[in-house]
């Protein structure tokens, strides 16, 4: 199932990675070498191709010093909806059990 929102997000991420690489004056050849991928894979990543492996995206972010951002994307402490859902499941009252 294709999603236009996913496609847009990947294209933006790829373009942002390309721009960050350029700002750091890293050539595509050097970036691909550091990532352990071909220049073609790097070109597809920077174009936002959804078929590029997540490990390639992670490698690119690591080289750019942004791997922590990936690691924290869905951190439970930064998930207000998830925390609210957990809070809803808390019991209203707690009864003491009988001691036998």
pLDDT digits (tens, 9 = 90+) for 18-69: 999 999 999 999 999 999 999 999 999 999 999 999 999 999 999 999 999 9
Residue 3 — very low, low, confident or very high, per pLDDT cuts 50/70/90?
very high
In the prediction, which pLDDT does 100 show?
A: 64
Residue 65 sits at the vertex; the CA angle it makes with 56 and 50, to the nearest 5 degrees, is 25
Q: Are 82 and 73 in contact (CB under 8 A)?
A: no
Rounded to an integer, what distance in angstroms lies between the CA atom of residue 12 and that of residue 61?
14
- pTM for the whole thing? 0.78
Cβ atoms of residues 68 and 24 within 8 Å: no
Residue 13: exposed, middle, or buried by beta-carbon count in 10 A (0-12, 13-18, 19+)? middle
Residues 41 and 32: beta-carbon distance below 8 Å: yes
């Amino acid at each position: 199932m294709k999603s236009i929102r996913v496609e847009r997000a990947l294209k933006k991420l790829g373009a942002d990675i390309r721009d960050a690489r350029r700002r750091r004056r890293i050539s595509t050849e050097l970036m691909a070498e550091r990532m352990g991928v071909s220049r073609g894979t790097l070109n597809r990543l920077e174009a936002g191709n959804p078929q590029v492996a997540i490990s390639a995206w992670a490698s690119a972010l690591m080289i750019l010093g942004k791997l922590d951002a990936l690691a924290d994307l869905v951190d439970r402490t930064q998930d207000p909806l998830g925390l609210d859902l957990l809070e809803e499941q808390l019991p209203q009252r707690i009864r003491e059990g009988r001691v036998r």
